[in-house]
Structure 1
Amino acid sequence: MLTTPTIAPAIRRILVAEDNLADAELIKEMLNRAFPQHLEACFVTRLDDTLAAIERNVFDILLLDLGLPDHQGVDKIDDISNRVPALPIVVLTGNEDDEVAAWALRSGAQDYLPKSQLSPELLSRGIRYAVERKEITQRLQEELERTAEQNELLACAARYDCLTGLPNRLMLQEVGERAIKQARRRKHSLALMFLDLNGFKLINDSYGHDVGDELLKGVASRLNSLVRQCDLLARLGGDEFVILTDILQDLCEVKSLTKRIEGAFDEPFRVGEIDVTCRPAIGIATYPECPDLPALLRYADKAMYKQKKYAALKPTEIPRSVPTQPLTRTVQYQP
């Protein structure tokens, strides 16, 4: 419910669109009586002049006659509101038609005043309430926009990893299920690659979690440079990454991608003053051999852990000044 504010909104500049000279003089007189303080009123007689005036100048309110010679009706109210969203509009008309009044308000006007009922008091109250309503509407719209932005950010945060910026498990689930449905319709194949960093716990324990976090960012960046835009690279958590791709026509294509991924780990990762070397264990599973996403993840995970078993090097201690050593590259394929 709208109430009269403690401090009335300041009205300094009013644009009046009125083509009837007698009505214009009457409105001018009422404005002078309603606002005895300094008030600047600008009068125009056509809609084109109205549009030009609001684009060149700033007004506190527009008093708009619906019967201007170059335009009749309320459909231009929406156009004016779109051009100057913060401008309150009070419609003036010689017709006391409730339907026209409702239409004007729906189109963006804040109030509707029949000329036959005008008085300085009614005009003053209508103008002040129109300004208040517009301010309330603007604040509400801004709050709704902020809420929408916050909801969008929350939705984004729920689907992306906050450390690396990569899609997370939830996004993988959504995209993966759509990809499998599409592959089923088109009778295509998919490959899911499950990556885990060998010795990552030891790196964390030796250098600290900050170094581990920076290493994960570096790994994400290098992997991201290898996959196509249509592929999905996701971080499941910890040092586990997943690539879902449809490049699979035969196993050679996936092996080629695997070699490129392994090659991306040939150079050490520079983290602050430390060069950290690590190798990925990679497990691969394919659709349609695995019929759904849980099966793809399960079998690729098994294949990856089988590869970790055969790692040739399992360091037990890493000096703080010495980078980690490469681990075996053997890739296990499942099923």
Structure 2
Amino acid sequence: MSRRAASDSPKPGFTVPASPTNPDARDQGRAWSRHAERYEELFLDPFRPGVTNPLLELLEARPQRRDETVADLGCGTGPLLPWLLERFGRVIALDFAPGMIEASRQRLGPEARRVEFLQRSMEQLDDFEGTLDVAVAFNSVVMPDTRVIDRTLVAIRRALKPGGVFAAILPAMDAILYHTMLLYELGLERGGQPEEAARFAALHAEHSQYDFALGRFTYLGLRQKFWHPFEIEWRFARAGFVQVELVKVLYPWDDQFAQAEALQDQPRTWDWGVLARPHADPTEGRPSTPDSPPPQRQHARSPTKHRASSEPSA
């Protein structure tokens, strides 16, 4: 979940230079670079203890060879890179923020020589068309401009080999609404009137930083996209993915969430994990017009699956 930590009160070894496509990309790249050192402190980490992350299990279960190529798109500070290096022959790490690339290299130490680091935006994948066995993007498809998201998803789909897979974690807007509901009920339980409970929930869930209608969040100069599951299905189908499976990445109620101590008995909050394939069958060819979004009927052939979580449904 790519948002700030909340308190109980509101508050092979080389790097290719970036070629940002617009000034906003440069501004956001600088903003993310400024926060590279505090990334794990400020933003929810799907790799930290206590997190249930079924995407890693699903990736582990797929048939794989040691000579496969994987790209970590929006690699951030590189928490996934050691895991990928153990399982793939060629590892590419891409991020548009130079501070994130440098943090990834420092994390890996001498092992950084085994990674191809690319400083560029995620939509710039033309040179990888049809070459990736796996692409991963954990909390990085968060561009505030949905036109960039759409271009990025098409670029990822085109970069995958037939039979390739794209694994993503997307910040869940519906989880913010869930947290808000729990905070509202907590306000009522503590004796507040409905209007008071609503103000309590909005304050502690930091509603002033969200655009709920369009799924946007702003914090520390970083503008991010949050997702509803219906939008995941719609945008991935529009980009040409015909098999899309959604799973919940579950987070413990800890000090990164407002009023966490009072929520320990509640089902955990989540981000959306996505496992997507560009073809319903590895023998299928690419869509006849890869530069334009394919028709919705491709998605209907292989409807989205929602994998049940071991956690009670919230």
TM-score bracket for the superposition, by shorter chain length = under 0.3
Instruction: Flag the structure with larger Rg.
Output: 1
Question: Which structure shows the higher helix fraction?
Answer: 1
Q: Which has the higher contact order (CA 8 A, sep 6+)?
A: 2
